[in-house]
Structure 1
Amino acid sequence: MNDFITPKNHKAFKAQVLSSHIDDEVKDCAIAYIDPRGGGPDPDHTHPHDHLFTVIAGEIEIRMDGDAFAVTEGMSLRVPGEKRHSVWNTGLTTAKVMGISLRKE
């Protein structure tokens, strides 16, 4: 995991961008390994692009505008960038999550 980083305001969270500036709709694609009780950012944040999170292994909780959404292995959830959000591992094992950043039209 030499090319992995821990983004600002995240904990027990390692991510690596797999590809960026893919096309007019897809900004980038990354893979993240989030340890139990890890996640972020803290506090929740917003930005101009959406995320599409897919859980490859484990389980996460996506906090969005005061609500919490459980996303388990094989599930995906699109998070509008203008909603305050963060991602947390609520499971007992490391979660493996694919994140795709989608530009707004």
Structure 2
Amino acid sequence: SKIASNGLFWFLKNIDHEHSVHRADYEAQLARLRAGGSTSRLKPGPEVVHTALRHALLSRRPRPHYVVTVPARIGVILKRILPASLLYRLLSKRA
């Protein structure tokens, strides 16, 4: 997907990041994007999505949801074990 490179183009064209109160955050993101994007191990490659999609298409009884990323799996576990108010507090700090 070219979403990062396209997003970078439009960001540089439309956002005055040099004079923003969020300048430090913007510069860190720009450095990451210019270096080629995310190198996070938490972000799976397309083969993980392909595996889940293939299973959904070929299964006699596919599941309604397929969780493919580590953060999504953690979220599913936290949703099951934490009270809703605590989960929402954690999510609001993350956003």
* TM-score (normalizing by structure 1): 0.21
Q: Greater share of helix residues, 1 or 2?
A: 2
* TM-score (normalizing by structure 2): 0.22
Q: Greater share of strand residues, 1 or 2?
A: 1
